[in-house]
Each structure stands twice: as C-alpha cells, then as structure tokens.
Amino acid sequence: MTGYEMFWPIIAHVALVYFLYMLLGFRRRKLVQAGKVRRSNYRENRDEPPEGLFVKNCLANQFELPVLFYACCVLLYITQADNLVAVVLAWVFVALRYLHAFVHVTSNNLRYRSPLFAAGYVVLGAMWLWLAVWMVFPNG
C-alpha cells in the first residue's frame, strides 16, 4: 500500500458530486429550452420540475451522510487505522453512493433507493466502529 489508499474513495465521491452538478446544469438548461420552466425560477428555487428536482435533491444528499464519511476517512488516516478493512469499507460506501445516486436521478424509486441508503448508513457505521475499536486497542 502506498499510504494514500484511504483518499481514493474520497476522490471517487467528489467525482460523483461534480458529475451531479453537471447533470443538474444539463437538465435545467434542457428544461428552460423546452419552455417547461423559466430561468428566473431557479433564482428562488420555485417550481422545479421533477427532472431537475431529483438531481437537486440527490446533490444535496451528497453533503449529508458523506460529510461523516470524509471525517471518518481523514481520522482513519491520521490514526493509521486506514488498513485493508477500512479501505474496503470506504470503497463499498462510495459504490453504494453511486448506486443510490443512479436510482435517485433516474427512477427515484424508493423501493430501491431506501435499501441502498440504509446499506451505506450501515457501512459508514462500520467504518466509525472500526475507528473506535482501533483507538481503544491501538496495538491489536
């Protein structure tokens, strides 16, 4: 391991956030061009059609639970608990965020979205538990 493995899942999540910003801009431009909404509506976030609203909500969601993910990753790195277990958990969390985002911006079907969110919640909880156990028993 190079020592930076814990940061690649963070970078992968940041890439998802950037993609969602681009998708939101694309969908909003398309809605304005189609005459479904006026550009001024976005100034005050009024009456956003579902095509844009799903992406907007998904993007907002990337700054909720993932904030705890970023903090945990940095703390895992600082405490040198960023071993294979932690890195695998981080990648699983990010993969679940990608799947959750895909469902959110396509069908937005809660039947699929909710379990993906719950799985990410559990994985992130496992990361924090790993950190806590590592700090309590630093020498194994």
Residue 2 has pLDDT above 80, yes or no: no
- Per-residue pLDDT, 3: 83
Model confidence over 65-84: pLDDT tens digits?
A: 999 999 999 999 999 999 99
User: What one-character DSSP code corresponds to residue 6?
Assistant: T
Residue 139 has pLDDT above 90, yes or no: no
**How would DSSP label each residue in 74-100?**
HHHHHTT--SHHHHHHHHHHHHHHHHH
Fold adopted by 6-136: Four Helix Bundle (Hemerythrin (Met), subunit A) (1.20.120)
* 7-33 vs 84-105: helix crossing angle, rounded to 10: 10
Domain residue ranges in the chain: 6-136
In percent, the amount of the chain with pLDDT more than 90 equals: 86
CA nearest to 45, candidates 22, 28, 21, 61: 28
* Mean pLDDT in residue range 20-44: 92
Residue 140 has pLDDT above 70, yes or no: no
